């Protein structure tokens, strides 16, 4: 993911970025989508602490995954990872 954030940094010019939960299905990581979402968030936080990436990141969750997404757990993770 570090290469992704480097490209966003170089080519995105600080504009808002939206990224889907990647790494499931075709990538065959066998990780739950919640774990993948946390991995994306954590990698973004780490990259942003090194150098500015973007002012806003939106994590896009596919409608079919909304039912199985614990948004309270995700909110707790965001709070702990970002502060």
* Averaged pLDDT score across all residues of the chain: 89
Instruction: Give the integer Cα–Cα distance in Å for 13 and 44.
Output: 16
Q: For 39-74, what is each residue's pLDDT tens digit?
A: 999 999 999 999 999 999 999 999 998 998 999 999
Instruction: Give the integer Cα–Cα distance in Å for 72 and 18.
Output: 21
Per-residue model confidence (pLDDT) at position 33: 87
What is the reported pTM? 0.85
Instruction: Give the integer Cα–Cα distance in Å for 47 and 41.
Output: 10
Is the model's pLDDT at 12 over the cut of 70? yes
């Amino acid at each position: 993911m570090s290469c992704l954030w480097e490209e966003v940094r170089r080519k995105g010019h600080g504009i808002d970025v939206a990224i889907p939960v990647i790494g499931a299905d075709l990538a065959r990581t066998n990780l739950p989508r919640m774990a993948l979402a946390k991995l994306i968030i954590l990698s973004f936080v780490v990259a942003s602490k090194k150098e500015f990436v973007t002012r806003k990141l939106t994590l896009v969750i596919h409608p079919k995954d909304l039912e199985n997404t614990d948004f309270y757990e995700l909110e707790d993770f965001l709070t702990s990872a970002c502060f």
